[in-house]
Amino acid sequence: MKNIDEITRLSADDLDRIGQDASVQVPEDFRVRLPRRSRAVWAVAASVAILLGVGIWSLPKPPKDTFDDPYLAYAALEQALGRVGDAIALGASKVEAAEVEFDKINYWK
């Protein structure tokens, strides 16, 4: 019997030749030890492991604490909320302008 080092050094042609060799004895209970159903179980288990690995890898990372001074953190928060407020105001003005146009259209219907 070959050890693992000898087997890993064999080429694909050598492995194919060994597989075709009828003189190699296969144990009688070989099919009992490796039923076809267990391959399906291993395939499902491998698929689940891959999906879990990809899912865990793609989870968002927790944010890092970037401010040591709470006053600086508050100033940054005010700035960010100011930007959000400006964007909402801009959107609201566009909606109001569109409402005027819709009112003109509805007037003539």
The answer to whether residues 12 and 36 belong to one domain is yes
Report H helices in the chain: 4-8, 12-20, 30-33, 36-57, 70-107
pLDDT digits (tens, 9 = 90+) for 32-60: 555 566 777 888 888 999 999 888 888 88
- Is the domain of 21 the same as that of 53? yes
Same domain, 10 and 51: yes
pLDDT of 76: 92
* 69 and 109 belong to one structural domain: yes
- Asked if 49 and 15 sit in the same domain, the reply is yes
Q: What is the pTM of this model?
A: 0.35
Looking at every residue in the chain, the average pLDDT score rounds to 81
Grade residue 97 by pLDDT with cuts at 50, 70 and 90: confident
Whether residues 46 and 88 share a domain: the answer is: no
Residue 5 has a CB neighbour count (10 Å cut-off) of 7
Domain holding 104, by residue range, is 63-109
Q: Is 72 found in the same domain as 42?
A: no
Q: How many CA atoms lie within 13 A of 84 on its CB side?
A: 6
Which span out of 13-17, 29-33, 83-87, 91-95 was modeled with the highest average pLDDT? 83-87
